[in-house]
Structure 1
Amino acid sequence: MVPETPSIEQEIDQLCTTARACYARGWVPATSGNFSVREGNRIFITPTGLDKGTLAPADLLAIDLEGRALAGSGRPSAETSLHTVIYRERVHAKAILHVHTIWNTLLSGKFVSTGHVPLHGYELLKGLSGVASHDHTEHVPIIENTQEYAELAEHLRDVLRSNRDAHGVLLSRHGLYTWGESVAEARRHLEALEFLFEVEGRRLFSHQD
């Protein structure tokens, strides 16, 4: 039996639940992070300055694929353009999650000159869609952070085109963007990558003098 496709209302509920869970884990401190879900040419996204620990469906803004507001109150985040780039470049993506964790911040700073964080040999890599074995290397690309978001969006577009198999992108000393064909898949990718960042971070930093 083919699983029933969740409605947009169900996906929005799941997005809010996921955002609150991320807040509870300390992954979106203060008012950081942003979350969105897509239905066709509409995107439902968190506005700027919102506490993710209390996120409810009524808080979301509706925008189009160009980032223009369609409905809702509040102001779009400066990072809205990064969501629209991901949706345009990853046409099957239906949800995007962006978090600021200790481990993705540390690793994105450590590996920024390399251009990616390599993750290899871990069983939890199989939590990423299309990965069937621990004997896989996931290269999570890193983009230099900047407050010039038009420039950042262009760089993100280029990185996505150059890394077709990546399940996420890091902004250096900033945070992780990951996505999925549903909120559930995006959350699975988020939890798998954040677990692996912590394992790899503990391994690397524990060996430093």
Structure 2
Amino acid sequence: MSVILPESHPEHPFNLIPELCRKFYELGWATGTGGGISVKMGDRYFIAPSGVQKERIRPDEIFILNAEQEVVEEPRTTEKKLKMSECTPLFFNAYTMRNAGACLHTHSQNCVLISLLCEKEFRISHIEMIKGISNNVTKKALGFRDSLVVPIIENTDFEADLTASMAECMKKYPESCAVLVRRHGMYVWGDTWQKAKGAVECIDYLMELAIRMRSLGLDWEPQPKSVP
């Protein structure tokens, strides 16, 4: 977001990040300290810490970084020593390569299952919910007959080791606003936190639907015969 909000505002990153973490936890996307959320405001990047119970994060536990990925303000809490998110360099892929306003990381089971069902990318078309996702190049919403394509990269032992492969994948798929990590989760970004949140919700919905379609013997990728 380009507007600098007061810390008391509900959409200030100090308040927004804990709220989103709680919602993602309730959805099963950030359990067991997994997942991560980052939001840009002005020239500062607000990032949730690593290795903490995401549903219990407080405003005074957020790191603030500059564009060089340097910490300009440590978490204000004095109760615990917090660790910078392992996702940080991957978040910055979205910020530097896509000029994103927010980048979200989930550990959804749907992400993991789809990454096992698909070889190189998740592709789905002719489903209404696709309209909730934008083409990252044109910035226009995808249409019902368009294909959503989310590329897949291989997991590594350490999160930071995904940085280069994620960046390379983003170069190959400039229209995508997300990258799946096999057996791990997904990174999703948007021009604003609202667009990033909407995109991750729509993509996860589509992945869950695809899994159910497969269990019923339906193929989610080809155009349905009934669609002209």
Q: Deviations over 1:111-164 (max 9, x none)?
A: 1xx311011111011101222421010110101000255542111111111111
**1:90 is matched by which residue type in structure 2?**
R
Do the aligned partners of residues 141 and 75 (structure 1) sit closer, same or farther apart at CA in structure 2, a change above 3 Å counting? same
2:152, 2:83 → 1: CA distance?
27
Find 2:198's aligned residue among 180, 188, 198: 188
The residue aligned with 2:111 is 104
Find 1:126's aligned residue among 126, 131, 141: 131
2:207, 2:166 → 1: CA distance?
21
1:76 aligns with 2:74: no
1:95 aligns with 2:102: yes
How big is the shift at 1:24? 1.0
- Larger proportion of helix: 1
SS for the counterpart of 1:70 is strand
Do the aligned partners of residues 6 and 203 (structure 1) sit closer, same or farther apart at CA in structure 2, a change above 3 Å counting? farther
How big is the shift at 1:63? 1.6
1:62 aligns with 2:64: yes
After superposition, residues 27-66 of structure 1 pair within 5 angstroms as 27-66=29-68
Identity between Structure 1 and Structure 2 (%): 28
Task: Tell me if structure 2 keeps the 8 A contact 1:121–1:136.
Answer: yes
Deviates more, 1:64-73 or 1:32-41: 64-73
Do the aligned partners of residues 6 and 179 (structure 1) sit closer, same or farther apart at CA in structure 2, a change above 3 Å counting? farther
1:97, 1:37 → 2: CA distance?
8
The residue aligned with 2:182 is 172
How big is the shift at 1:70? 1.8
Task: Tell me if structure 2 keeps the 8 A contact 1:115–1:143.
Answer: yes
Do the aligned partners of residues 8 and 85 (structure 1) sit closer, same or farther apart at CA in structure 2, a change above 3 Å counting? farther
How big is the shift at 1:7? 2.9
1:8, 1:43 → 2: CA distance?
15
Q: Deviations over 1:8-43 (max 9, x none)?
A: 742412332221111111111110000001124421
Q: What's the TM-score, normalizing by structure 2?
A: 0.82
- Structure 2: unaligned runs, 5 residues or longer: 76-81, 135-139, 219-228
Do the aligned partners of residues 49 and 149 (structure 1) sit closer, same or farther apart at CA in structure 2, a change above 3 Å counting? closer
Q: What's the TM-score, normalizing by structure 1?
A: 0.89
1:29, 1:46 → 2: CA distance?
14
How big is the shift at 1:187? 0.8
The residue aligned with 1:156 is 166
SS for the counterpart of 2:194 is helix
The residue aligned with 2:121 is 116
- Structure 1: unaligned runs, 5 residues or longer: none
Task: List structure 1 runs of 4+ shifted beyond 6 angstroms.
Answer: none
1:69, 1:195 → 2: CA distance?
35
Larger Rg: 2
